Amino acid sequence: MIGTVRRSAGHGMAGTAERWTAIMGGVVLGLAGARRGDWLGLALAAAGGGLVLAGAGAVPLAERVRDAAAMRRAHPEPRTVQANVTIRAGREAVFRHWRNLSHLPRLMDHLDRVEVLSATRSRWVARGPGGVPVVWHSVIDKERPDELISWHTEEGADLPHRGSVLFRDAPGGRGTEVSFTLAYDPPGGAGGRAVAALFGAAPEQQAREALRRLKCLMETGTQPTIAGQPRGGRAPGDRKR
Amino acid sequence: MKALCWNGIDDLRVERVPDPAILDPGDAIVRVRLSSVCGSDLPLISGRMPTMKPGDILGREFLGEVVETGPAVRHRGRGDRVIVAAAIGCGKCRFCQTGRSALCDNSNPQPEWTESAYGHGTGGAFGSGHAFGGYAGSHAEYVRVPFVDHNGIRVPDGIPDETAVFVSGAVPTGFAAADMARIEPGDVVAVWGCGGVGQMAMRCARLLGAAGVIGIDRRPDRLEAAQMKAGAEPLDDTRVDLFDALQAMTGGRGPDVCIDAVGMTAEGTEGAVLRAMVACCRKGGTLSVIGDHAGHMDRFPMGAAVNKGLTIRMGPPDGRHTAERLFGLIGSGDLDPSYLMTHKWPLDDAARGYHMFRTRTDNCMRVVFAP
């Protein structure tokens, strides 16, 4: 049940949310006037547009890929993405959940499955742009029980990147602090594409989302959803009443 | 089923929509018996709070009967008469466990809206737009209640629906305004806004030990209710100079506690309310902000607030956390919110009801829909 709960428009909503932020962030409260339909338009654009770059003014991914060379010049250093969350659960339980890598697709929309091959090796299958599967092998290179897991893609992989998760006791008995870090080549490079495959086009947001889901699963055993709830509104010409 | 849907700015229609279904094992379906309008609905309807999508069902303050529960529900069952607060809590996170369900970490399916606007995501809420998760509201025949073990509050026998329904919204909100102000014996409390929440804030301030309560509004019917039902001294700020009047009523000290029960308005006057509160409040006094706010407020008189040593408390109430205490006050006869229901209409008339509520015609305090 839980594993099948998926958010409908993960990264797509990001664009909408950021526009909302821009609106709430200043000027426009007094504008009072999102014109009728504006928000529907945004929502449709976000949901239907598929891979839309949050934070880059809704640039379709295709354009982003085309600009890869330019991006490489602009960001020659490896990139790091980090997300942090505090979970109301013991360090051991949270560690155990993550250490079972086959759980990870529950946390990351773009990840189809992770096959555990040995104590340290695993095979990851993600749904890349356009639904094309992207496959790579990872090796856990460091593990300290209840404290740390770090891994990297195998030597010679097309899409190299590194990841780590740190688990710490929050002060005052307030649960477990989790830090999730990914390092990869600039967005235009191969590693960048792997991260895009893994996390969609807004890695920071999707890393946060992964930790949010981990927290919600650990704390409540489920994920909140509104997918499938009733709503009104009729299509043009629809006469139902 | 029938439901009141938002279809665009100021475009409300009662429509036929599918019945809600259990979407998570912790859900329940509640058959709605009464569902009240709330002042916070107005900025959503008018587009001032631009987070609605066409087809969204409104309503966030309701009472009903559990008709179906998911397999993980343990403490609520078919036939339970429940109220449900607007804010949805997961019941398990640190905030839910400490009586702050409105700050829930886990109930909002799309927290990136408030995360990017406010720095951290807020919890979900019924009928409150997509920044708060986009949950379908209660102006309908049925509503799905997530995490019902936490959010469904059983109504004690002997308290009629017409009284209990307000314990899902106006009562705990007004109570929270008075409670977080930490009223001390002898304090005079001034309340801006004599709508449903303001009325309850005034009455609760009395119950929490205020020596005097002043209700500020412009509607004669609301000022009369403040005086007759909530025991307040009414003050029409269109007829007097508010600052002078409040100083005259408090020996020049100013009110010890000033409560904002106005919040966002269609006219954008919330800044004026908060600035007046800072100016009027006594030195060392407390501002308690319970009214609905969403965006920025400019020209806040920070110098006056700091140099007068004011304390500002604010935030959304946790209706679930205080319900038992409030039902106790109702049971003992100390508190009676039923007079807020100036109109009880069928759901079919909901669009007309909102027009009446918004234009404050026919002395409407709250119109409550019975599906």
Residue-wise pLDDT tens digits, A163-201: 999 999 999 999 999 999 988 776 566 666 666 666 666
Tokens of B234: 């009414």
Query: Are A232 and B15 inside 8 Å of each other by CB?
Result: yes
Closest chain A residue to the Cα of B140, Cα to Cα: A230
Cα–Cα distance for residue pair B114/A209, rounded to 1 Å: 14
Q: Kindly indicate whether the ipTM for this predicted assembly is greater than 0.90, answering yes or no.
A: yes
Of A18 and B38, the structure prediction assigns the larger pLDDT to: B38
Work out the widest C-alpha separation in chain A, in whole angstroms: 63
> In what side-by-side order are the strands of the sheet with B286-289?
B233-236, B212-217, B188-192, B257-260, B286-289, B311-314
C-alpha to C-alpha distance for B213 and B202, rounded to whole angstroms = 6
Of B72, B117, B144, the CB nearest to A229: B144
Of B124, B119, B118, B134, the residue nearest B103 (C-alpha): B124
B110 touches chain A (CB under 8 A): yes
Give pTM, 2 decimals: 0.85
Which H, E and C letters describe chain B, residue by residue? CEEEEECCCCCEEEEECCCCCCCCCCCEEEEEEEEECCCCHHHHHHCCCCCCCCCEECCCCEEEEEEEECCCCCCCCCCCEEEECCEECCCCCHHHHCCCHHHCCCCCCCCHHHHHHHCCCCCEEECCCHHHCCECCCCECEEEECCHHHHEEECCCCCCHHHHHHHHCHHHHHHHHHHHCCCCCCCEEEEECCCHHHHHHHHHHHHCCCCEEEEEECCHHHHHHHHHCCCCEEEECCCCCHHHHHHHHCCCCCCCEEEECCCCCCCCCHHHHHHHHHHHCCCCCEEEECCCCCCCCCCCCHHHHHHCCCEEEECCCCHHHHHHHHHHHHHCCCCCHHHHEEEEEEHHHHHHHHHHHHHCHHHCCEEEEEC
Q: Residue length, chain B? A: 371
Closest by CA position to B7, among listed B58, B49, B48: B58
Q: How near does any CA of chain B get to the CA of A6, in Å?
A: 10
pLDDT value of position B149? 98
**pLDDT per residue as tens digits for the range B306-341:** 999 999 999 999 999 999 999 999 999 999 999 999
**pLDDT on residue B289:** 97
pLDDT in tens, B94-112: 999 999 999 999 999 999 8
Direct distance between the N- and C-terminal alpha carbons of chain A, in angstroms, rounded to an integer: 34
Touching check for B149 and chain A: CB below 8 Å?
Answer: no
Q: Coil, strand or helix: which one is A85?
A: strand
**Contact call for A25 and B140, based on CB within 8 A:** no
Would you tell me how many other CB atoms lie within 10 Å of the CB of residue A182? 23
- What distance in Å separates residue B92's CA from the closest CA in chain A? 6
User: Is the domain A78-220 a CATH 3.30.530.20 member?
Assistant: yes
Contacts of A26 in chain B (CB under 8 A): 295-296
Q: Give the pLDDT confidence score for residue A198 in this predicted structure.
A: 63
Residue closest to A95 by CA, chosen among B33, B190, A30, A103: A103
- Give the H or E element holding residue A176: strand A176-184
Mutation target to probe the A interface, by most A beta carbons within 10 A, among B5, B22, B90, B106 is: B106
Average pLDDT score over residue span B256-269? 87
Report pLDDT for A13: 41
Q: How far apart are CA B334 and CA B328, in angstroms?
A: 9
Q: How confident is the model at residue B247 (pLDDT cuts 50, 70, 90)?
A: very high
What average pLDDT does the segment B252-281 reach? 92
Question: Angle B170-180/B319-331 helices, nearest 10 degrees?
Answer: 100
| Structural fold of domain B171-314 | Rossmann fold (3.40.50)
Mean pLDDT confidence for B345-360? 97
Cβ contact B265:B292 at 8 Å:
no
Least confident of A132-136, B216-220, B246-250, B351-355: A132-136
Cβ within 8 Å of B, A 100-159: none
Higher pLDDT, A51 or B66: B66
pLDDT, position B181: 98
pLDDT of residue A77: 65
CB B53 within 8 A of CB A29: no
* Residues on chain B touching A86 (C-beta within 8 angstroms): 94
Where are chain B's structural domains?
2-168+318-370, 171-314
Going from the C-alpha of B328 to that of each of A178, A235, B152, B156, B332, the distances in angstroms are: 42, 48, 17, 9, 6
**Interface membership of B240 toward A (CB under 8 Å):** no
Contact of B199 with B266, CB cutoff 8 Å: no
Confidence (pLDDT) at A92: 97
Residues of A in contact with B108 (CB under 8 A): 224
Contact assignment for B111 to A231 by CB distance below 8 Å: no
- By DSSP bridging, strand A59-60 and strand A52-53 are antiparallel
* pLDDT for res A194: 61
Q: What is the percent of chain B where pLDDT is above 70?
A: 100
pLDDT at A206: 77
Q: What is the pLDDT of residue B14?
A: 97
* Spatial contact of B308 and B280, defined as CB atoms under 8 Å apart: no
Q: How far is CA B101 from the centre of its chain?
A: 14
Among A1, A7, A20, most B C-beta atoms within 10 A, so best to mutate, is A20
Where chain A has pLDDT below 70, the residues are: 1-77, 157-159, 186-202, 234-241
Contacts of B48 in chain A (CB under 8 A): 29, 32
Q: For residue B78, is pLDDT > 60?
A: yes
How many pairs of residues across A and B have Cβ atoms under 8 Å apart? 164
> Is the alpha carbon torsion for B85, B87, B93, B99 positive or negative?
negative
Give me the mean pLDDT over the B35-39 stretch: 97
pLDDT at A50: 26
| Contact indicator for B314, B290 with CB cutoff of 8 Å | yes
Of A215, A221, A232, the CB nearest to B17: A232
pLDDT of residue B295: 86
Mutate to test the interface with B, among A29, A44, A205, A206 (most CBs of B within 10 A): A29
The mean-pLDDT minimum among B54-68, B138-152, B263-277, B344-358 falls in: B263-277
Of the pLDDT bands very low, low, confident and very high (cuts 50, 70, 90), residue B297 is confident
Q: How far is residue B214 from each of residues A102, B124, B223, measured CA to CA in Å?
A: 62, 34, 10
Other Cβ atoms within 10 Å of B309 Cβ, number: 11
Whether A45 has its CB under 8 Å from any CB of chain B: the answer is: no
Q: Hey, what CATH topology would domain B2-168+318-370 get?
A: Quinone Oxidoreductase; Chain A, domain 1 (3.90.180)
Query: Which of B32, B112, B149, B270 is the best substitution to test chain A (most A C-beta atoms within 10 A)?
Result: B112
Collapsing DSSP to helix, strand or coil, A32 comes out as coil
pLDDT at A43: 31
Q: Residue B149 CB: number of other CB atoms within 10 A?
A: 15
Q: Which of residues 286-305 of B touch A (CB under 8 A)?
A: 294-296
CB contact B53 to A (< 8 Å): yes
- Cβ neighbours, 10 Å, residue B72: 17
Q: What does the alpha-carbon distance between residue B347 and residue A194 come to, in Å, rounded to a whole number?
A: 52
Q: Is A84 on the interface with B (CB under 8 A)?
A: no
Contact A78, A187 (CB under 8 A): no
Cα pseudo-dihedral A155, A157, A161, A166, rounded to 10: -60
